Amino acid sequence: MRVVTWNLWWRFGPWEARQKAILATLRELRPDVVGLQEVWEQGPDNLAQWLAGELGMHWTWAASEEPGYWQRRIGDASVGVGNAVLSRWPVVERAVLPMPAGEGHSGRLALYARLDAPGWHVPFFTTHLTSAPSASAVRCQQVTALAEFVARHKGGTDFPPVVTGDFNAWPDSDEVRLFGGYKTASPVSGQYLFDAWEYADPAAPSATWDSANPYVAATYSPSVRVDYIHVGPGPGRLGVVQAVRRAGDGPVDGVWPSDHAAVVADLALEGVDRFRQQVV
C-alpha cells in the first residue's frame, strides 16, 4: 500500500501552474492513499476533488472553520482551506477534529477516513499543525488531542492506524516525540506510532522543507523534515514500512509543485494468515 503525505501550499505562488505539477507528480507516484494539507476550495471547485477525478480516486475533505488567517494573506475571502484524503478504495467512515488553538493558532484540524482496502479497513488520518516556530507548546496540545482522536477511531480492524501530515516540527521536537509515544511517554497509555522515516536509508535526503526549493529559500529558514507518516504496530508484517522516501522535491516542467516535498511510504498490506487465505 503506497501512502503519500503532502502539503500543497494552498493558493500561494504560481498556483495554477503548480496544480498541474502536483497532478503530474501524483500520477507518477501511483499512490493508494494520500493525505493532503493546505487544499483550496472556491465555490464549486476543490483541488482535492479535481485531483481525485483526474486520478480516478475517491476523496473526502474537511474545511477549516477559521480560514481568515489564510484569506488575509492573499486578499480573497472566497477561498477556503482544509485537509483532504484521496483513496483508491471507498471511504466508509469519516470524522473531523478541530485542533486546540492557543492564542493566534486557530483553524487547524485533523481528518479521519476509514478506507475499505482489500482484506482490511484502514484507519487513516491527516493533519496540519500550527506553524509558528515558537508554538511548540501549542503543538504538544495538538498532538495530544490527535493521539486521543486516533485512539477513538483506530479500532475494529487489524490494520494499524496510519497518520500523515505537516507537523511543522523537527523530528527531535517535544511534539513529534510525544505523538510517537516510543521516545517519551505517550499521551494515550499503551499507544505508540512509528515515524516511517525510521526505516529510511540514512543517506537519503530527508528535508521536506528544503532550502533547495526556491519557495523555501526565500524564507531564509533552515532545511528540515517537518512532514510525517506515522504507523502503529500491527500483527505480523501488516502495515510494516517496506520503503520510504521524498517525492515532489524538484521542478516539473520548470515549476516546483509546492513549498513542501512529499513523503512516500510503502506499507505491507499482507501479513497475517486470514488475509493470505482470502487471496489464495
Pick the residue with more confidence: 280 or 132? 132
Q: Tens digit of pLDDT for each residue in 226-252?
A: 999 999 999 999 999 999 999 999 999
User: pLDDT confidence of 278, banded at 50, 70, 90?
Assistant: very low
Q: Is the pLDDT of residue 279 over 80?
A: no
Q: Is the pLDDT of residue 41 over 50?
A: yes
Do 133 and 96 contact (CB within 8 A), yes or no? no
Q: How does strand 227-231 pair with strand 194-195?
A: antiparallel
Residue-level pLDDT at 277: 38
Q: pTM for this structure?
A: 0.95
- Per-position DSSP letters for 161-221, written without gaps between them: PEEEEE--S-TTSHHHHHHH-SSS--SSTT---EEGGGGS-TTS---SB-TTSHHHHTTTP
Phi, psi (degrees; rounded to nearest 5) at 182 = -120, 0
Classified as helix, coil or strand, 131 is: coil
The domains located in the chain, with CATH, are 2-279 (3.60.10.10)
The average confidence (pLDDT) of the chain is 94
